[in-house]
Amino acid sequence: MQIKQRSIKLDPYPRGFHLITHLVQEALDELPSLEVGMMNLFIQHTSASLSINENADPLVLEDMESFYTDLADDKPYYIHTYEGKDDMPAHIKSTLLGASISVPITKGRLNLGTWQGIYLGEHRDHAGPRTLVLSLWGA
Query: Contact 134/21 with Cβ under 8 angstroms?
Result: no
**Can you give the pLDDT at residue 115?**
97
- DSSP state, residue 11: P
**Can you give the pLDDT at residue 102?**
98
pLDDT in tens, 55-67: 999 999 999 999 9
Extract the residue ranges of the chain whose pLDDT is less than 50. none
Query: Contact 85/74 with Cβ under 8 angstroms?
Result: yes
**Can you give the pLDDT at residue 2?**
76
Whole-angstrom Cα Rg for the chain? 16
Separation CA 34–CA 131 (nearest Å): 23
**Can you give the pLDDT at residue 121?**
98
Task: State in words which class domain 41-125 has.
Answer: mainly beta
Burial of 50 (0-12, 13-18, 19+ CB in 10 A): buried
**Can you give the pLDDT at residue 15?**
98
Between the two ends of the chain, the Cα-to-Cα distance in Å is 6
pLDDT in tens, 95-115: 999 999 999 999 999 999 999
Q: Which residue ranges make up each domain of the chain?
A: 41-125
**Can you give the pLDDT at residue 139?**
85
**Can you give the pLDDT at residue 56?**
96
